[in-house]
Amino acid sequence: MGRRSLLRRVDDLLLPPIGRGIRWLQAGTGRRRVVTSTALIACALLVVAAVWSTDRPTQHVDDSGPVVHVGVNEGESIPDYAADSHGELVLLAKNSTAPTWALVSFAAYVGPEKVTEVAEGQAVARVYARVPMPRAPTEIVQLNVTDLPGGLLDEMDRVADRKDADAAGYADLAGKLSGASEQEMRQREVYRTAQELAEAEADAYRAHCECAYALVVRSTPQELLELSDRGVVRAVDAAPEMEGFERAVFLPALPEQPGIAGPPGSALSDDEPPVGSPPASEPVG
């Protein structure tokens, strides 16, 4: 199904309730901008997410053989996951010195400088990032890197360019709706909000934001144990069963979710995503 056909179907299903949400927001004062209108953003992102799911699969996996899932599944306890992962890593370090892949989750969103500091001495293959906005399910992006910080900065610039293109696409869709009917006005508002969100994401990535929240690395178990003691690290999930990077799906925990894992922007998330350093009550390592 093409992007436009999908959008038409999403419009038919979602625009009536979105319109009610827009009218509620418009009854307030000064709440329509993207940085504060999180309810409207969430509605608009149902459209955005539908487009992403069609055009940009989040995980490119070779499914010709066994696929390994590394990380925490939705509905699972993140503290239990972190504790279990640490216990398994301790046991692995006692029995093996062979390098292994591992998923490293952070307790806060951090910038390229902090990523470079935390990952010192590690072979980093991928960085997971998203722009942390309260209650907004912004896109999770995979940044494949070969060096830090240069490779990460280049990837963030690339994402910024793509977000600019997304914003232009939503602006074009909104501009083609010139009617005064209630439905077209609602559609325009949805596309304009999606445009504003994409612009905000583009600005954040271009400024090399504190957006990174997980790494995929390859190191020895002992090196991974040492990594788990570094300040912002929340969990290190070693995956010695992995035969190849291309046959793995990584599911890092989100920093703003202290208990149960869920999608970005869900009710399982704290109102304010932790940025720059972990919250005082968050156990790390």
Q: What's the average pLDDT block by block, 10 residues per block, for the chain (285 residues)?
A: 39 42 38 40 50 42 73 97 98 97 98 97 96 89 96 98 97 91 91 95 98 97 97 97 85 96 83 76 47
Token output for 9: 């179907």
Range of the domain at 171: 3-57+155-206
Residue from 23, 16, 60 nearest 39 by CA? 23
- 202 and 222 within one domain: no
pTM of the model: 0.77
Residue 244 within any structural domain of the chain? yes
Q: What does the pLDDT read at residue 276?
A: 81
- 73 and 30 within one domain: no
Q: What does the pLDDT read at residue 34?
A: 39
HSE-up of residue 160 (Cα within 13 Å, Cβ side): 15
- 223 and 119 within one domain: yes
Residue 162 within any structural domain of the chain? yes
Report d(CA 177, CA 172) in Å as an integer: 9
Token output for 93: 């370090």
Whether 234 and 118 have beta carbons less than 8 Å apart is answered as no
